[in-house]
Structure 1
Amino acid sequence: MPYIDGFPVQEHNFEVFARDAKDSLTPNSTQRTTLIVAGVYIVVIFILWHMPYLSVIIYPFKLLTVGFHEMSHALAGILTCAHIHSIELDPDEGGATRMSGGIPWITLPAGYLGSSFIGAALIACGFDTNASKIASLAMAAFFLCTLWWARKSWLPWLLILGMSGLIVLFWFVAGGVALRYFVLFVGVMSDMYVLWDVVDDTIARKVNGSDASSFAQICGCCPSQVWGVIWLIQAFAFFAAGIIIGLVAFKESASQQAEDSKHFLPVPGSSGAMQLFPTTFTSMMLCVAVTTVVMLRRW
């Protein structure tokens, strides 16, 4: 064994690291199924996206990704001391976040980058049932925040009630496995929407009212297409990171995930759920009721 300054140095550290990295990134059978499903999602979304009549199937999810986009603007505005006036979701799949103050250098790109990050996080959580349960609760918090700023429009209420119903429904199917694939679909949809929207708004054609054109005016050094390419690369990076994190972090098999799911926010009626669920369900319903009442009073 070689020595440096009197201390032994282990040989082949790089080979050990490379082998460990290969083992971490090599998908097991459950992860391969998840990757195949994600690939099918991409193909199906691409086909439905360009079909004149069938595109109505994914229309609610398009609006949901618009909500992610606008909520990212709003959160960036809060972090930069902006005052959020409202969030609007348009039936034509558009959206707008009206705010005053803040730092435009941060709030403008936050829409695409924030929704890309959300999509990547949901993709990573889509590799594991318990992680998908946590992700669905995070989406519920997102829904409440969105309604707070968009409560005067009927569309967000209808959209969020529908998505909340799907989350509750899929939570009951196959011990939460259906919820995992639902979270995975929303994550893929969010990242795909960002990729196609950036290309459509900035690279394929110049939209004067886009985030990229507004950011280009503030920056003054590059056209909107350049910023579109930069945001596109970042969106691809987030998408890849979501898959890599899912492969590395969630190596449990489907049977192991099913067993773990029985003890973490279990489905009502399953073993271990009788004591936990009433308290959890009551707390969630109370939180939703109080929030709804407050929103209606402020309306």
Structure 2
Amino acid sequence: MSTYFAEQERQKRIALLVILGLGSLMLWHTPFGALLLYPFTILTTWFHEMGHGLAVIAMGERFDHLLIYPDGSGVAVSEVSPDRNVVQDAIIAAGGPIGPALAGAALIASSRSLRGTRIALAVLGAALLVSAAIWVRSLTGMVVLPLVGIAILAIARRANADQQRFAIQLLGVQACISVWSQTGYLFTEGGTIGGLPQISDTGAIAQALFLPYWFWGIVLSIANIALLWWSFRYAFRR
């Protein structure tokens, strides 16, 4: 009987997280929702741009600084060598769309144990504070990211076990779905960031490799969904 009720609780938690995730995607596209979810918007931008930045570092290049604008857009500014190859360019471009899903899946997976949950909350909170001090060079990022980091560290220290698990799972879901927070982002060739025209990540991958940008949008969407599915399966497995 206890196993039955435990399974019911797992199903309810998964359903709640899915509903909150889908609900936030819809809210993001309304004026009130965008205001309500503003801290999450800045956080998802941080996940995205840090994905680019860490990919730059992994490719042996220099990640210089990160800008996050009041409208929630952002850019990772890097110094790359002229002799880099197209594969490196593609990986750096893909770091933004896939990086948040990798981080989100890791956060959700960590909730399988209470110890893992607390470590993940502490690491995420500390990462926000450290990255704001080292790389962030815009007022919005320097104000919002430390506040979010402090809030996450407070949850890690003061919240009860169930609240901690729910918090890390919700943060993980938001990271995984953040790539769809902007309508059609993966399926555009470019846009405007900070008032300047920019090629999209999928557009940059298409330029570096082959096949059109929309193909890479589909590939990245499938990869993000697969990571979210795997993390749920791992975290809630008996």
**TM-score category, normalised to shorter length:** 0.7 to 0.9
Deviation at 1:169, TM superposition (A): 3.5
| Aligned amino acid, residue 206 of structure 2 | A
Which of 130, 149, 171 in structure 2 is aligned with 1:164? 149
Is the counterpart of residue 51 in structure 1 residue 30 in structure 2? yes
Deviation at 1:212, TM superposition (A): 0.9
Please list the CA deviations of residues 132-162 of structure 1 after superposition, one character each: whole Å capped at 9, or x if unmatched. Answer: 2111122134214422443432222222222
Distance 2:106 2:180 in 1: 16
TM-score, reference length from structure 2:
0.83
The residue aligned with 2:216 is 227
Separation of aligned partners in 2, 1:237 and 1:185: 17
Structure 2 residue aligned with 1:259: none
Match of 1:200 in 2: 184
Deviation at 1:127, TM superposition (A): 4.6
Matching of residue 176 in structure 1 with residue 166 in structure 2: no
The DSSP-based 3-state class of the residue aligned with 1:28 is: helix
Q: Which runs of 5+ in 2 are unaligned?
A: 1-5, 192-198
1:171 is paired with a residue whose SS is: helix
User: For 2:67, what is the secondary structure of its paired residue?
Assistant: strand
Tell me if structure 2 keeps the 8 A contact 1:31–1:127.
no
Report what 1:282 is aligned to: none
Counterpart of 1:263? none
2:20 maps to: 41
**Cα deviations by residue, 1:162-185 (Å, 9 ceiling, x for unpaired):** 212322433355523222211111
Which residue of structure 2 aligns with residue 22 of structure 1?
A: none
For normalisation by structure 1, the TM-score amounts to: 0.67
Cα pair distance change 1:31/1:130, threshold 3 Å = farther
Q: Within 2, Cα distance between the matches of 1:168 and 1:75?
A: 23
SS in 2 for 1:92: coil
User: Structure 1 residues 201, 40: closer, same or farther in 2, change over 3 A?
Assistant: closer
Residue pair 2:122, 2:153 contacting (<8 A) in 1 also = no
Q: Is 2:174 the counterpart of 1:215? A: no
Contact 1:72/1:111 (8 A) holds in 2: yes
Question: 1:229: Cα distance to partner?
Answer: 0.9
Contact 1:120/1:242 (<8 A) preserved? yes
Cα drift, residue 120 of structure 1: 1.3
Q: Does 1:114 align with 2:93?
A: no
Distance 1:120 1:72, change over 3 A: same
Q: Contact 2:101–2:227 (CA<8 Å) still a contact in 1? A: yes
Give the corresponding residue for 2:43.
64
Stretches of 4+ aligned residues off by more than 4 angstroms: none
Counterpart contact for 2:42–2:145, Cα < 8 Å = no
State the Cα distance separating 1:28 from its structure 2 match.
Answer: 2.3
1:189 deviates by 1.0
Identity of aligned residues (%): 22
Where in structure 1 are there 5+ consecutive unaligned residues? 1-26, 252-299
Alpha-carbon distance in 1 for matches of 2:113, 2:23: 22
| Root-mean-square deviation over aligned CA pairs | 2.3
What residue is the counterpart of 2:194 in the other structure? Answer: none
- Aligned to 2:76, the other structure's residue is in SS state strand
Q: Deviations over 1:60-115 (max 9, x none)?
A: 11110110111111111111110111111111111111112262122111111111
- Per-residue CA deviation, residues 11-50 of structure 1 (Å, 9 max, x unaligned), is xxxxxxxxxxxxxxxx724422321321231243134223
2:121 is aligned, of 125, 131, 136, to 136
Q: Taking CA–CA contacts closer than 8 Å with sequence separation of 6 or more, which of the two structures ends up with the larger relative contact order? A: 2
